[in-house]
Structure formats: C-alpha cells, structure tokens
Structure 1
Amino acid sequence: MKKALKTTSFAILGSALMAGPAAADMKIGITQNNVGVDSYQTTYEKAFKEAASKTDGLETVVLDAGGDVARQIAQMQDLIQQQVDAIIIWPTNGQAVVPVVRQAHQAGIPVIITNSNIADAGQEFIAAFSGPNNITQGEYSAEMMCEALDGKGQIVQISGQPGYTTAIQRQQGFEQRLAEACPGVEIMETQPGDWNREKAQRVMENFLTKYDKIDGVYAGDDNMGVGALNAAKAAGRAGDIAFIGATNFAVGYEAMERGEYYGSVYQSPVDDAEAALQTAIDVINGKEVPKLNYFDTPKITQSNMSEFDKPVF
C-alpha cells in the first residue's frame, strides 16, 4: 500500500472529527483565499466541508475571498459580528489582514491561520497556524535542484503571488538553501506566475526567448511548473531543462511519470483542511495546541513517486 501522508502535530483526523460531543454547539467561520484559482484550493474546500459535516453539533460558515484582500477583510468583519467561536483564515495577503485579525483577537474570537501564515506583526493575535512549513518546502526544492543539476548550472524561478506569504517563504527557503547547498547554481531571474498555469507558461516563454541556456526551472507550485514545462516543450527545449516544483499536483505527478519533471513536494489539501478544522476545534475546547502546527510534506521525485498516491487535485 502506498504512503498515506501523516501530520506531525495531530492525529488526523477521521475519528477525531467524528467524535461529536467534544465539538457540540460550535460555530466556526472560514474565509479562504481564492477557491477558483486552482484545484488544490477547490479540493481543500470540499475536504473541509466534508470533515465539518461529520462533526456533530458543529455549524460552519464557509466563505471565499476570491483573491480580493478587501473582500476578505469584510468577510472577517462579518464573522466577528456573527460572534463565531473561532475564525479560520487562509490569507489573501499576509500583511494586509493583520489589522482585522487583531480586531477578532480583541473581540475574544480565536483566529487560526491556515495554509499560508500571516506577517510577523500579526503573530501575537493568532491562536495557531495550521499548514505546511513553506520555508522547508523551498529548501527541499533547492536540494532536488542541486541533485538534478549535479551542483552547477543556470536556472530561472517562477514564484507565486506577490505579497502572499507562501510565495515569499518558498522563495526564501529555496534561495537560501540553494546558496548553501550548491553555490554553483545561479538564479538568472525570478518572475511571478501568480499560481496560474497560463501565466507561468507566458513567463517561461519570455525566459526562453531571453536566455539561450536554461538548465533548470523552480516553480512555487506544480501548476506553474507544468505551465513552464508546456512552454519548454513547445519550444523544443524541455529535454535540456530540469523542472522542480512544490505542492505536487496531479499534472506534476503525471509529468514525473513521463520522465519530463524531476521532482516536487508532496502536500495534501485534504490533510491541510482537516488539520485546520481540528486545530480550531481544539482551541475552542481549551486544549493546548502548538502555535505552529505543521504537517509532513516530503520530497517526491521520479525515483520514489511509486511510494505515493497520485494527487486527487
């Protein structure tokens, strides 16, 4: 049987969320980043709703900011007015949401950050963070790039959405670890792909026009990584380039199966959603939880991918 991804800080989840009496008469609100932007967030929302439906006595208010910071702030304010027992927020912008997170804290409502953390200025106002360690993910991607290029070469980087904590942290972890592990690998240029496959493809097309030699591409997630791969294939240059991503999407897994994509970081949106909900329930029930609740996101490459189930997103 293939590996089922486990959490490091929780016992996920099944029986825990189905233990109804511990979660009775709770109301939890969640405002998400942008459900429609990719299949990870779509799968996350579905898993969150499913887990909540199995918890007796739990009412949820499930909102989506659609990538709009102002809309997310308004949703947070609405949840504060509703006096929910806890708020889960997947921030559209880790800095911009700090004031409204402070408002919830001042109203006595615990805030759980999910998936992508908020800025340091807001850490004192949150009950917990639940999600992946994005700096570690960037480090893992750097290590895979070093392996793929044997420690030397010229690469380009396609980052996520500017101002978005996950994008910032993955880029930070990647660049720092790359400099440590293989200083012979040079990042020639970094451009944002905004988590969008089509935009990443356009960014890569520009890179291919600008640079005669590209040995590797690091993309902040596989959705963008496959966009870059598609551009390189169209230009007849894919065979010369090592593609490394993060958040292993099904399309990335399939590209690995075809031998076109070197590696990524395995991350489950189901674990992500369930961990966030369980953290909120534990906080409401007065349980002591770690401030940073990370779940496992191991490296996945062509050499070990048979140990992992194909992502469902």
Structure 2
Amino acid sequence: MPNGYVGVEASLPTAYKSPAKKAGSCTIGFQNPIAGNETLHTLQLAVVAQAKVYGCKVIALDDRTTPDKQVSNMQQLIAQKVNAIIFYPLDPKATVPVLKQAKSKGIPVVAIDGTFGSRTAKAPYLPYIATQVWQGRDIQAYLQIKALAAAAPRAKVGLIGIGFPVPALKYLNQREAFWAKKAGMSILGTQDNPSDDVTGGEKAANGLVQRYSDMTAVVGYNDPSAVGASIAARSAGRKITIVGLNGDSAGLQAVKSGKLVATVRVDPVGWGIETTKAAYSLITKQNLPLPKILVRPAELVTKANVGKVASWKAQVAAID
C-alpha cells in the first residue's frame, strides 16, 4: 500500500491463494470493455497467459464500451458453456438478469470493479458474482493528488472524466475531488472526454480552459485524457500542471518529456493474474470460500522513477 494511505482499500487482501493445477482443461470467458485500449489489452494478455498455466483456453470478446454488447457477449459465453467468466461491468445494473442466468447455469463470474467505495457495499448484482478484484480507484486518486500536491500546492483543479456511464470511473472522479479538497486544493469543475482518447481529452480540456481562467491544474481519469490536456494547454498558452492515470506507454513517455508531472501506473497484469486464479479456483473448487474483494494497488510514476518501471509486456512474459 502507498505510504500514508489510510482509505477504504488499505486493509483489503491483494492476492488470492494460488490454486494447484488439476488434470483436465477448462474454458474461461473474458469480456474486454474495449480491446483497443492498451491497458485493457494488457489485462487480456495476462488472463490468457495465466489461463495457459492451468491448461485452460480463453474465449475473449470485445464489449466495445457498450452495455448492451456486454450483456449479449455474456449471453454468448453462457451459450458456449464456458466454465467461468471474467468481466468488468460497464453498467452493473444492466447485467443483473444475465448474471443471474450465469449463476443458474453454474457458471461462476469474477468481476473487476463490480462495486466500489465500501467493502460492505450491497448492490443488486453483488449476489450473482463470486468475487471481484478492485483496481484500487481510491488509491489511484490518492496518488494522483499526492503527486499534484508536491508539484502544485493549493492548485485550482479541473477534472477530466469519461463520457460513458462507467460507475467505477465516475467514482474515481469523486475520490479525486475528495483527496484534492483534503489537500487544500479547489475543484473548479469536471469535463467529460467524449471519445476515451487523446482527441477527446483535448476537447475536454479546451472546455475547462475556456470556463476557468484561473485553473492551474488538470487531473485526468486516464493518460490519453491527460496528454490531450497538455495539447490544449499549450495551444491556449496556459501553464497547467497535469497528472494522468494508467501508466501506459504514452503516459510514461509524457512523464519523461515533461508533458505530465506524473501518472499513476495501474496493474492490468495483476488484475489478469488474480481474476484468472479466482476463476480457476472456482472451477476446480479450491481455496474456497474466496475473499469477496481484493485490491491491486497502483504505483506513482514521476520523472524520478519513470526509467525504472518494468514494461507490461515483460510482466506478461514472466507469467508461468
């Protein structure tokens, strides 16, 4: 856990017990929220690599950031009689009927960020998932603001959120605001990235720049948004301190070049390993009952340590 962090995620377990490989094979369904995203593509590679360790194959489907597509993809996996499903809910409530169907068919479902904010959260869909891995949204927000406080104390902050109704990312913005206020910063407002890419980030940041002449910092929900904000700031002739999130290749390069003062590197390889361990444990009935929630803490990356960060590709290659 990050030094100084005492939030809701601080005392959660960070890994499942490793199941032993059993004779026979299995099939795990994996639903990628958007396969073209570098972070989520890395997650998929990690799921595939860890499943291979257990002699299992993976059927991977792209949900295309569309709740309806996510539901139909899960229905497809149920029809294909997979042994377990791993997914990251885009609209948790929309998945309730199909999750209930999976449970009735004896197909355990492992979620990524199925709930958030409280370890005792009760929600309609929670009884239908077997366990979940939190990405650590509160930890991520804490680290983003910690970096911003070091670079720009008392900053006046604009937040960039996602233009899709993804509850976990809306929660991230809430926690960014919480930690910023706790650090003595002012939150001016939030503008959504409509396309989840650099172009959308630039558009969102342009909106913030035009609305807030006194804005001195921007915190983005991902690195493409943060990089887009750096383009918008430069075009407007404004000096704005920017912090990203994900630690993907573009984000790390932006930290190296000084476009971002920091990014928070998430752990898609760890998400993939742990969700697959959970899925295989559920399939083979090992280490039960599993913890209801575990978290994979993130890592703060600045110019001081950006050159020491191991690549996700190397981390996936090391899975065996």
Same structural fold, with TM-score higher than 0.5 when normalized by the shorter chain: yes
Partner of 1:4: none
Partner of 1:144: 147
Partner of 1:205: 206
Give the Cα separation in 1 of the matches to 2:245 and 2:23. Answer: 34
Partner of 1:215: 216
Partner of 2:189: 189
Give the Cα separation in 2 of the matches to 1:277 and 1:311. Answer: 17
What do the CA deviations read for 1:8-49 (whole angstroms, capped 9, x no partner)? 3147xxxx69x6x4263322112221112x221222223333
Whether the 8 Å contact between 1:218 and 1:244 is mirrored in structure 2 is: yes
Give the partner amino acid of 2:152: L
* Equivalent in 179, 182, 188 of residue 180 of structure 1: 182
Alpha carbons of 1:94 and 1:144: their partners in 2 closer, same or farther (altered >3 Å)? farther
Partner of 1:298: 299
Give the Cα separation in 2 of the matches to 1:98 and 1:135. Answer: 25
Shift of 1:161: 4.1
1:246 alignment partner, SS class: strand
Spell out structure 1 runs of 4+ moving beyond 3 A. Answer: 310-313
Partner of 1:244: 243
Give the Cα separation in 1 of the matches to 2:163 and 2:273. Answer: 24
Shift of 1:131: 4.0
Shift of 1:272: 2.2
* Equivalent in 68, 90, 105 of residue 92 of structure 1: 90
TM-score, with length taken from structure 1:
0.85
Structure 2 portions without partners, runs of 5+: 1-12, 117-122, 315-320
Partner of 2:38: 39
Give the Cα separation in 2 of the matches to 1:300 and 1:164. Answer: 25
Partner of 2:15: 9
Structure 1 portions without partners, runs of 5+: 1-6
2:100 alignment partner, SS class: helix
Whether the 8 Å contact between 1:217 and 1:243 is mirrored in structure 2 is: yes
What do the CA deviations read for 1:188-220 (whole angstroms, capped 9, x no partner)? 110111532211111112222333222100100
1:88-127 to structure 2, matched below 5 A, reads: 88-114=86-112, 116-118=113-115, 120-127=123-130
Aligned length: 293
Partner of 1:263: 262
1:279-298 to structure 2, matched below 5 A, reads: 279-286=278-285, 287-288=287-288, 289-298=290-299
What do the CA deviations read for 1:112-169 (whole angstroms, capped 9, x no partner)? 012x32583211211111241112211221222222222x131110012432133122
Q: What do you get for the CA RMSD once the two structures are aligned?
A: 2.4
Partner of 1:228: 229
Whether the 8 Å contact between 2:255 and 2:263 is mirrored in structure 1 is: no
Give the Cα separation in 2 of the matches to 1:309 and 1:129. Answer: 26
Alpha carbons of 1:210 and 1:179: their partners in 2 closer, same or farther (altered >3 Å)? closer
Partner of 1:22: 22
Which segment is superposed worse, 76-85 or 66-75? 76-85
Give the Cα separation in 1 of the matches to 2:104 and 2:199. Answer: 41
Give the Cα separation in 1 of the matches to 2:273 and 2:163. Answer: 24
1:65-80 to structure 2, matched below 5 A, reads: 65-80=63-78
TM-score, with length taken from structure 2:
0.83
Give the Cα separation in 1 of the matches to 2:313 and 2:213. Answer: 36
Partner of 1:3: none
Shift of 1:310: 5.1
Partner of 2:275: 276
Whether the 8 Å contact between 1:247 and 1:264 is mirrored in structure 2 is: yes
